[in-house]
Amino acid sequence: MEIWLLVIILLIIAIICLVASLFTKNDNDMEDLVNENMIQVSQELNSIKTRLSELEAVVYQPSSHSSATTFPEAKANDLEKTLVLDREALADQDEVVNISEESRQTVIEMYTKGYTLQEIQQEVGLDTFTIQSLVDDYIENR
């Protein structure tokens, strides 16, 4: 009986060693897999950096026969468009200032009663931008 007990204990130890050896092999496999992925990511990052530097070289070197606008010219065009839009907004604000007090009261009254902007526009005869500006002023100054 003592021999059977010894055999069972040795069998359990053998199984534990077998399982432990399987896990150590998996750790090595996982380490190899991680290393391969890191190498792949590094290569992709390097290729992206290369492409980026090529694109930067193309963008920052204006060619003499190219009709496309350069980055500073495009930025200047955007600023000019913004200034034009700001001037138009200021002109619209001047229109809002020139509205009679009666029209303002009518717009605010209809707004508080739940009328839509289109309904107010039909009733008062003002454009929706002006009505929206009046409503916004009313909400801000409550």
Mean pLDDT of the chain: 78
Structure confidence at residue 58 as a pLDDT band (50, 70, 90): confident
91: burial class by Cβ within 10 Å (0-12, 13-18, 19+)?
exposed
- Average pLDDT of span 72-94: 58
Q: Where are the domains of the chain?
A: 99-141
pLDDT, tens digit (0-9, with 9 covering 90-100), for 93-142? 555 557 788 888 898 899 999 998 889 888 888 888 888 888 888 888 87
Q: Pseudo-torsion of CA 62, 66, 67, 71, nearest 10°? A: -20
> Under DSSP, is residue 125 helix (H, G, I), strand (E, B) or coil?
coil
Q: What SS3 state is found at 51?
A: helix
Q: Is the pLDDT of residue 13 over 90?
A: yes
